């Protein structure tokens, strides 16, 4: 399973669509990932988002469930 397998579809969801999706789905049904730097995450992030800085993403893919939709910002 490669990194692209996590981000094949829905790569350009609007904020409204993401909001609807998060409201309608259980946190157990998706991966919500903040790929920014830790300081940025500390300052503000979407509630429930997992911090995985983009440089670390290739090495931490096992922390994401590939069978679930993944939302990143």
Partner 1 sequence: MKGGIKAWNGLKAEGYPEVAMNYFGAAASTEELVVLAWLLEEATRKLYRNISEALRDQSLILLFHDLAQGEEQHKSVLEGLYMEFAAGTAAAGIEGHRLSQSKGGDLTEGGVRLDEALQWLRGRKERDILEFAVSLEANAYDRYLTMWRLIENERSKRVFESLFRAEKQHLERLIEAFEGTL
Residues that bind partner 1 (CB under 8 A): 12-15, 18-19, 27, 34, 36, 38, 40-51, 71-73
Say how many Å lie between the first and final Cα of the chain, rounded: 21
Q: What are the beta bridge partners of residue 33?
A: 50, 72
Q: How many CB atoms lie within 10 A of CB 33?
A: 23
Report residue 44 as tokens. Answer: 């503000």
- Residue closer to partner 1 (CB basis): 1 or 15: 15
- Residue closer to partner 1 (CB basis): 42 or 56: 42
- Residue closer to partner 1 (CB basis): 12 or 59: 12
């Amino acid at each position: 399973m490669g990194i692209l397998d996590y981000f094949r579809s829905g790569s350009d969801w609007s904020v409204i669509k993401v909001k609807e999706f998060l409201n309608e789905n259980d946190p157990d049904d998706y991966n919500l990932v903040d790929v920014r730097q830790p300081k940025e995450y500390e300052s503000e992030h979407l509630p429930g988002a997992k911090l995985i800085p983009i440089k670390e993403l290739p090495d931490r893919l096992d922390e994401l469930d590939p069978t679930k939709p993944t939302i990143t910002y």
